[in-house]
Amino acid sequence: MSNAEFLFKKYARMKKIPAYPELSLEHKLNVLTSEETLTELGWKGIKPLLPTVTAKIKCELLDGTKKSLDVYTFLRRYGNANSHIEKQNFIKITYPTSIKALKGFHSVLSAICKQKGIQTTPFNENRMPIGGQEHTYIIDDYKAPPTDAPMSKCQVEFLAHFNRSGSRTGTQYALIRQYDKKDVDTTFLLRNVDTVQKTQDDLIDTLPPCMVRPVEISPIENQSSPFYIIAYHFREKPHALSDELLQSLDKKNRLFICEELARCMADLHQMGIYHRLLSYASVYICDYSAWGKGWMPHLVKFDFAKLVAKIEEDELETVKEQTIEAKEMIKDKSIKKYIPLDWKLENWEKVDVYSLGILFCDILSGTISPDYNSMIKSMKQLKKSKEISDGFLNLIGTMINSAFSKRPSMAEVHKSLQAEMASWN
pLDDT tens by residue, 109-130:
888 888 788 988 888 888 888 8
Judge whether residue 214 has pLDDT over 90. Answer: no
Of residues 27 and 104, more confidence is placed in 104
- The pLDDT assigned to 1 comes to 45
What's the whole-number mean pLDDT along residues 27-46? 80
pLDDT tens by residue, 352-395:
999 999 999 999 999 999 999 999 998 888 888 888 898 999 99
C-alpha 266/C-alpha 211 separation (Å) is 11
Residue 19's pLDDT band (boundaries 50, 70, 90)? low
- The pLDDT assigned to 162 comes to 93
Residue 312's pLDDT band (boundaries 50, 70, 90)? very low
Residue 411's pLDDT band (boundaries 50, 70, 90)? very high
DSSP H or E stretch at residue 175: strand 170-180
C-alpha 45/C-alpha 28 separation (Å) is 19
| Percentages of the chain per state (helix, strand, coil), in multiples of 5 | 50, 15, 35
Rounded to the nearest 5°, which phi and psi values hold at 81?
-55, -35
* Angle, helices 372-385/348-365, rounded to nearest 10 degrees: 60
Residue 321's pLDDT band (boundaries 50, 70, 90)? low
Residue 10's pLDDT band (boundaries 50, 70, 90)? confident
- The pLDDT assigned to 327 comes to 62
Rounded to the nearest integer, the mean pLDDT of the chain is: 83
Residue 322's pLDDT band (boundaries 50, 70, 90)? low
C-alpha 200/C-alpha 219 separation (Å) is 15
Interstrand relation of 239-240 and 273-274 (parallel, antiparallel or unpaired): unpaired
Q: What is the pTM of this model?
A: 0.77
Describe the strand order of the beta sheet including 239-240 as a list of residue ranges.
Answer: 239-240, 283-287, 295-299
C-alpha 208/C-alpha 245 separation (Å) is 24
Residue 328's pLDDT band (boundaries 50, 70, 90)? low
Coil, helix or strand for 136?
strand
- The pLDDT assigned to 263 comes to 94
Instruction: Name all domains of the chain by residue range, CATH numbers in brackets.
Output: 3-115 (no CATH), 130-424 (1.10.510.10)
* Angle, helices 372-385/390-399, rounded to nearest 10 degrees: 160
Long-range contacts of 93-99, Cβ-Cβ distance < 8 Å, separation of 24 or more: 95/225, 95/226, 97/59, 97/60, 99/125
Judge whether residue 291 has pLDDT over 90. Answer: no
* Angle, helices 71-79/95-115, rounded to nearest 10 degrees: 130
